[in-house]
Amino acid sequence: MKKLLASTFATLLSTQVVAEQPLTYAELFNHPSTILNETRQYSVHLPSDYQRNKHQHYPVVYLLDGENRMLQVSGIIQSFQGGLSPNVPDMIIVGVHNTNRMRDYTPTHSLTLPSGDAGPGYAETGGGRQFLKYLTDELIPIINAQYRTAKPNIMIGHSLGGLTALDAMSLHTDDFQAYISIDPSLWFDYPNYYSYLEKSFEQPFKTPVSLYLAMANNPFTPGIGRSNFHRDHLLNFAKKIAPDTDEKNLYLNSHYFENENHHTVYHLAVYNGLSWLFDGYGLNTAPRELTLEKVRDRYQSLNLRLHSDLKPDQSYLKLLEKKAARWPNMEIPADEVKKIDAYFYPAKQ
């Protein structure tokens, strides 16, 4: 028996598989920030065809808490890429790594919780505007210089990161064209900052901006405990900013996830948010829908919302032409696909 066990163990050792190359989904960078006076980290995930498609430029997602969320969000974006036409464009994802959340993701300096009690760890609050300046004046220029980027720039933030996204919007700049704010911490510095944010959203934006606001059924509020304070103030804020969005250059979609809490809402919010932001990007292959006129109109509307110049992915247009020729019973209107291709990608003279 001992000999048998020894022989089996030796066999297992001899047949162990050794990994040749680790799987990677992002590249990590360090750089000195003059604005924040510290070394910062960010990670970059590139589209799968980035190296092959040398002329393609890509929208950019700036992902707050990127050190924890990169794999999840890159997987969500990849899930949209299947089939005959992707529902969202492939994108460059910049994971913005965090060093001090309470400092970088709070727009004002506040030492108290909504209950009026002192907030533990609140001494460093209020560095949010410097963090946003770091994003717009240092990190975005680095990314634009290093990679083939295109509008829209999209910021995704959750909790205090969601508050940061709303604060960036309140500044009415055009550095970002779209935001996904997930269950933002509107309890912070209440009611002072809440009142500021409401007034800011009453003003029209200089250029079109899109906001997907996700709200969870969160039964807790810091400093209060079990309470609907956080949830109810988010719902009230969504109602407050909803009127007259057309006149404000604001495209808004707010969604309350009744069956999700503050943490489980993240995945659904990113998926639904991207799906809404890029509504019209995917090509409906039904003969009545896949016409040059309808595709052109949908893209004009999409680019107006995102202040961008998006086009259907040409590789998928070529794929549709091949599918139409190979399987006529799919009823893909090949002639219309060729017209769409020629319209968005005219032959160079």
pLDDT band at 116 (very low <50, low <70, confident <90, very high): confident
CA 225 to chain centre: 30
Query: What tens digit of pLDDT does each residue of 95-107 get?
Result: 999 989 999 999 9
- Could you tell me where the DSSP H helices lie in the chain? 2-14, 66-79, 101-104, 128-134, 140-146, 160-170, 192-202, 229-241, 265-277, 292-306, 314-326, 334-344
For the ranges 49-53, 167-171, 330-334, the maximum mean pLDDT occurs at 167-171
CB 162, CB 182: distance < 8 Å = yes
Structure tokens at 283: 């090509």
Comparing C-alpha atoms, which of 212, 200, 147 is closest to residue 169? 200
Average pLDDT over every residue of 130-159: 98
CB 140, CB 42: distance < 8 Å = no
pLDDT band at 241 (very low <50, low <70, confident <90, very high): very high
Mean pLDDT of the chain: 92
pLDDT at 267 > cutoff 80: yes
For helices 314-326 and 334-344, the axis angle rounded to 10 degrees is: 160
**Residue 269 and residue 256: Cα distance in Å, rounded?**
10
Q: Provide the residue type at 118 as one letter.
A: A
Per-residue confidence (pLDDT) for residue 119, from 0 to 100: 77
Count of CB atoms situated within 10 Å of the CB of 313 = 20
**Residue 164 and residue 8: Cα distance in Å, rounded?**
58
Full-model pTM? 0.92
Cα–Cα distance list, 89 to 12, 25, 166, 273, 309 (Å): 46, 18, 24, 14, 12
Strand blocks (E) in 58-130? 58-64, 92-96
19: burial class by Cβ within 10 Å (0-12, 13-18, 19+)? exposed
Between 300 and 16, the more confident residue is 300
Per-residue confidence (pLDDT) for residue 4, from 0 to 100: 52
pLDDT at 118 > cutoff 90: no
Count of CB atoms situated within 10 Å of the CB of 310 = 19
Residues 6 or more apart whose CB falls under 8 angstroms from that of 154 comprise: 59, 60, 61, 62, 91, 176, 177, 178, 179, 180, 277
Quickly list DSSP for 295-313. HHHHHHHHHHHHTS-----
Cα–Cα distance list, 179 to 29, 294, 301 (Å): 24, 27, 18
The domains found in the chain, sorted by start residue, are: 27-279 (3.40.50.1820), 285-348 (no CATH)
Pairing state of beta strands 149-158 and 178-182?
parallel
Per-residue confidence (pLDDT) for residue 202, from 0 to 100: 96
Query: What tens digit of pLDDT does each residue of 276-328 get?
Result: 999 999 999 999 999 999 999 999 999 999 999 999 999 999 999 999 888 88
Average pLDDT over every residue of 252-256: 98
pLDDT band at 20 (very low <50, low <70, confident <90, very high): low
DSSP for residue 338 = H
